[in-house]
Structure 1
Amino acid sequence: MSPPLSLPAHLRLRPASWRLFWSLELPAKAFTPWWCLLHDRMGHRSWLNRIVPDKVPSPLCALCGVDAEDLYHFVVGCPLKADYWRDVVFLLSLQDLLPSSLAIWTALTSFCSLDMVELDDDALVALGAGFATLWTYHWRSVIDAEPWIPSAVFNMVQHDHH
């Protein structure tokens, strides 16, 4: 599934949403990956395969090995990451607000629920912290060849962000 985005990156968030983004009480390490997502500047394998095919010879996800890793797959579409998000959403008691991968994607890219209700700061901080952990563990798995261990990545989010 491709990212369900129809607007160019610079038009996705209103200025007020950008002010909200920069005002969130997130650890510094959480802003960079989220900013990269919001500007479609993440090094997912489909993009890397297009620009450096000698270094990334396949667009397939390095974790699941089944689907091409586009932006959506990198964040929520990979089955391993969908399981991670389900656990994080349950931990945060946000399952009514974020019942699906698409709902999480929508929240991360628009700061709104699926019915376009703006999320409160606490929900956004929790999502940003969860995304920062996913980002970190993704690259540990891909670059450092650490296996994706669901309990380890879940423990990491609990440890890093209480």
Structure 2
Amino acid sequence: MKYNDGPFDLVDDLAERTNGIAINKSENGTFELANTRAFRQMIFSKSYRLPTPTPHHPPMVAPPPPLTATFWTSFWKNKIPHNARNVWWRLLINKLPSGLHLHSIIPDMVEPLCRVCGTDLETSQHLLFSCPKKLEVWQAALSRYMEERTWTADYICSLFFPDPDPVKPLHDIPIFILIGTILASIWRYHHAFVRENQAFEPRTVLAAVDLAITQVCAQLAEKKRQSEEREPPPPVELPLVENNFPT
């Protein structure tokens, strides 16, 4: 006959083992010492562990030239059209949404080829300058509003970076305003092509460039007129009067 000796004095073996489970390699990296945040993160990572995506490295592109603090100061102070400044800034830091850049982020959704010409990789330079249809717009516009020279895609791109070769705009249009106005028009029609599937026709874009530059010239002329009106008139020199009275 067996007798009941009463409850056994058992050690809480499960609690000891649980408290000793390591969460990480820090000093507070066990269940007993860890905070609630570390506990939640460990449980979530165990329960909802997702497969680690394979890193996708973009093709090598030429790094942008070094940009000094002096250049950035002049860039933000110069008169650049507002609708072109952001695009210009993204070109300088190599963060334009070109096909090549987007393909490096979402390769299953965006192809690296140019979406306008469909033949070359759409780098930042190709996106704005080297694409045949966009280069046609640049060459026609610059031939109308700048001194005559050979306009290559590389040379046009260099105008947006530090220390370009000196050029002389016509009609007294500041160089930053001129190339910024052309850039803004090309960018607007590029997005109309990508988002709304509108054809990128160089003649249509060039007409928009001409209209925008005409408006810029009118605004510059009006500002000059207002500035001249605010200036005080030059002093009038009165003729000397001879005193004929006897002293």
Look up the match of 2:67.
Answer: 13
Q: 2:146 aligns with which of 93, 108, 124?
A: 93
Q: TM-score, normalised by structure 2?
A: 0.56
Please give the alpha-carbon distance, in whole angstroms, between the structure 2 residues aligned to 1:124 and 1:111.
13
Asked if the contact 1:88/1:130 (under 8 Å) is kept, the reply is: yes
Matches within 5 A, 1:1-162: 5=63, 7=65, 12-56=66-110, 58-96=111-149, 99-113=151-165, 117=166, 122-162=174-214
Q: Does the 8 Å CA contact 1:111/1:118 hold for their aligned counterparts?
A: no
Higher helix share: 1
d(CA) in 2 for partners of 1:119, 1:36:
25
8 Å Cα contact 2:113/2:122 also seen in 1: yes
Structure 1, residues 104-140: CA drift from partner, whole Å, max 9, x if none?
A: 1111122512xxx598981122111111111111111
Whether the aligned pair in 1 keeps the contact of 2:133 and 2:201 (CA below 8 Å) is no
Task: Provide Cα deviations, 1:56-115, integer angstroms capped at 9, x if missing partner.
Answer: 1x211010001110111112111111111101111212433x6321111111122512xx
Structure 1 runs (4+) greater than 4 angstroms displaced? 2-6, 117-121
Report how far residue 13 of structure 1 moved.
2.5
Q: Relative contact order (alpha carbons < 8 A, sep ≥ 6): 1 or 2 greater? A: 1
The percentage of counterpart residues that share the same residue type is 24
Asked whether the equivalents of residues 147 and 168 of structure 2 are also in contact (C-alpha less than 8 Å), the reply is no
- Decide whether aligned partners of structure 1 residues 46 and 28 sit closer, same or farther in structure 2, where only a CA change above 3 A counts: same
Amino acid at match of 2:76: W
- Consecutive unaligned residues of structure 1, counting only runs of 5 or more, are none
Larger Rg computed on CA atoms: 2
The answer as to whether partners of 1:112 and 1:119 remain within 8 angstroms in 2 is no
